[in-house]
Each structure stands twice: as C-alpha cells, then as structure tokens.
Amino acid sequence: MKILKTYPDRCIGCLVCEAVCSETYFQKPDAAKSAIRILEDDTGAADYRILVCQQLGDCIAVCPAMAIRRLKSGVVTINKKKCVGCYACVGFCPIQAMFTHPDEIVPFKCIACGKCAEQCPTEALEIVEVE
C-alpha cells in the first residue's frame, strides 16, 4: 500500500510541506489545516519530528458511522458525507495523525497524494509502496 515515508534526519523545518498540504486541500496555506506537521523533536534523535498518517487504519474500526475506509491503493480516507464528526478517530489514532480545525466539522488526514514530497527541498518525504 501507498504511504508517505518520512526521513526526519533530513528535515530542515522549512514548513513547505505544511503550506502545500493546506493549500491543496483548504485553498490557503495554514499550518493548522495541514495533514502533515513538523514538530520539534524532544527525543534528541533529530532536530524535527514529522507527524503524518502512516495508513495504519486503526480508525476504520472505531468510526461509528462507517465513514472511514481503505481504498484499493491502501490509503485510508474519510467520507465527508457519512462522517458524524465524533472525533473518535482523532482520539484513537495511535500516532495522533488525525487532525481537526475549528472551521471544519470533519477531521482530516494525509491521503498520501505526495504533493508535499514533490516540493520538499531536502527529500525528507517520499511516497513509497509498503506491504
């Protein structure tokens, strides 16, 4: 299946990915609306930590509205029409990669489109196929 693979040691914290992601899906660059987040790494392993959905799919079973499913490509997506906005998927994501924003009643997540990877100046992001 398709996922966005991250290489945090290459990340320079330029935040281009956040801008591209929010621009693509919410028509304006706004880090709070990005499905990928660059955070400071407090473990000391690298300067930054890249938080983005790895298509684990734990959210599928917790959704009470059957609004989340895995596409053939392996990507996990939310059907906005079916979503009842409970945010169970947000609280139950084991890596906290499902996001919300006050303007939106449906949560959002990375769908591995790869737009950010194309723009990343250090190739810290890459779309790959995994088992």
Partner 1 sequence: MNRAELKVLAEFDYELGQVEKGYTGRTLYVNVSDNTIESRPVTPEMKEIFVGGKGFGLWRLWHGVTSDTKWNDPENEIVISSGPLGGTTTYPGSGKSLVVSISPTTHSVMDSNVGGHFGPLLKFAGWDAIELQGKAQNDVIVYVDGMQGKVFIYEAPEGTADTHELAERMVELFADSEAEKVGISSVTAGSGAEHALIGCLNFSLYDERRQGIRVKQAGRGGIGTVFRDKKIKALVVKYLGVKGNSNHPADKSRIDRVGIKMHKEIHDNDPVQCRMRHRGTSYLVQIMSDYDLLPTHNFKYGGHPEARRINGDVWEARFRQGLPDGCWYGCTLSCSHTVEGYTVRTGPYKGRVVRVDGPEYETIAGVGSNCGIFDPETILEINFYCDTYGLDTISFGTLTAFVMECYEAGILDQEKTGGLDLRFGNGDAAIELLHQIARGEGFGRIAGQGIRRMKQIFVEEYGADPQFLQDIGMEAKGLEYSEYVSKESLAQQGGYGLANKGPQHDEAWLIFMDMVNNQLPTFADKAEALHYFPMWRTWFGLCGLCKLPWNDIIPEDNALTEEPAKVPEHVQNYVEYFVGVTGRQDVKRGEDLVRMSEAVYNFQRVFNLRLGFGTRQHDAIPYRSMGPVTAEEYESRAERYDQQLRELVGFDPTGKSTAEKLAALREYRQAQYERLMDAVYERRGWTANGVPTLETLRRLRIDFPEVVAVVQQHL
Q: Give 10-14 contacts, CB < 8 A, sequence gap 24+.
A: 10/122, 10/123, 10/124, 11/38, 11/46, 11/47, 11/48, 11/50, 11/122, 11/124, 12/47, 12/48, 12/121, 12/122, 12/124, 13/38, 13/47, 13/48, 14/121, 14/122
By C-beta, is 12 or 105 nearer to ligand SF4?
105
CB of 91 to ligand SF4, least distance (A): 9
The helix/strand/coil state of 28 is coil
Judged by the rule CB under 8 A, the positions of this chain that interact with partner 1 are 61-66, 83-88, 90-92, 100, 102, 105-106
CB of 63 to ligand SF4, least distance (A): 3
By C-beta, is 4 or 83 nearer to partner 1?
83
Question: Distance (Å, rounded) from C-alpha 81 to C-alpha 58?
Answer: 20
Binders of ligand SF4: how many residues, by CB under 6 A? 14
Q: Taking CB within 5 to 8 Å according to partner kind, which of partner 1, ligand SF4, none is near residue 13?
A: none
Interaction with ligand SF4 in 60-119: which residues (CB under 6 A)? 62-63, 65, 67-68, 78, 83-89, 107
By C-beta, is 48 or 108 nearer to ligand SF4?
108
Chain positions contacting ligand SF4, by CB under 6 A? 62-63, 65, 67-68, 78, 83-89, 107
